[in-house]
Amino acid sequence: MRHAKAEHAAATDLERALLEQGREAAAEVGSWLAARGIRPDHALVSAAARTRQTWEALADAAGWVVEADVDRGLYTAGPETALDLMRSTPAEADTLVVVGHNPTIAYLAQMLDDGEGDAEASNEMAMGYPAGAATVMEYDGAWADLGAGTARVMAFHVGRG
């Protein structure tokens, strides 16, 4: 997921907070994911204020009690580095939620897409990845083996708040 809508400026970029519209959008995505039976057992979240706040609103609305792995490296990560971070997900985790930044999150989702999933969702994702966008992907292998073209896009949604 890409973080929800945030303020344009703060003392530092890392400190930019979500707008109320962003909190509402993140909560809406959380409800949407919960309605689809998504229940993560691991979460990887950028250390930026807006991503941590997105995670909190998302998890609260979904009813998840997962402690997020807040990673400062995800804040500056490109797609390959973000993929490396995902590969370090504990082997016992079945479902991972990643909350990060664009353009990394959009590139990562497109890179992982094997083209065998929901074509409409893949096309919608490729048309733009606005703040509050989330892609649900299915992957059948070990986290350490996650790579380009190894996951199927199952759904795409943009929280509108």
Residue 35 falls within a domain, yes or no? yes
In a domain, 75, yes or no: yes
Residue 4 lies in a domain: no
Q: How far apart are CA 103 and CA 130, in angstroms?
A: 10
Q: 39 pLDDT band (50/70/90 cuts)?
A: very high
The answer to whether residue 6 is domain-embedded is no
Q: What is the CATH number of the domain that holds 29?
A: 3.40.50.1240
Pick from 26, 3, 1: nearest CA to 137: 1
Q: Tell me the residue range of the domain where 79 lies.
A: 13-158
Q: Do the domain assignments include residue 102?
A: yes
142 close to 91: Cβ distance less than 8 angstroms: yes
Question: 151 forms bridges with which residues in the sheet?
Answer: 113
Structure tokens at 47: 């250390």
Tally the domains of the chain: 1
Band of residue 38 on the pLDDT scale cut at 50, 70, 90: very high
Residue 37, pLDDT above cutoff 90: yes
CA 30 to chain centre: 11
Instruction: Kindly report whether the peptide bond that precedes residue 40 is cis, defined as omega within 30 degrees of 0.
Output: no
Residue 3 lies in a domain: no
Q: Give the pLDDT band of residue 127 (cuts 50, 70, 90).
A: very high
When pLDDT is averaged across residues 145-153 and rounded to a whole number, the result is 98
Percentage, residues of the chain above pLDDT 70: 99
Lookup: tokens for 83: 């993929």
Mean pLDDT of 37-43: 97
Task: Give the DSSP H/E element, type plus range, for residue 109.
Answer: helix 104-112
**Residue 5 within any structural domain of the chain:** no
Prediction pTM value: 0.97
**pLDDT > 90? residue 123:** yes
In a domain, 1, yes or no: no
Of the candidates 41, 31, 83, which has an alpha carbon nearest to the alpha carbon of residue 61? 31
Q: Give the pLDDT mean for 64-88.
A: 97
Mean pLDDT of the chain: 97
Q: What is the pLDDT of residue 92?
A: 96
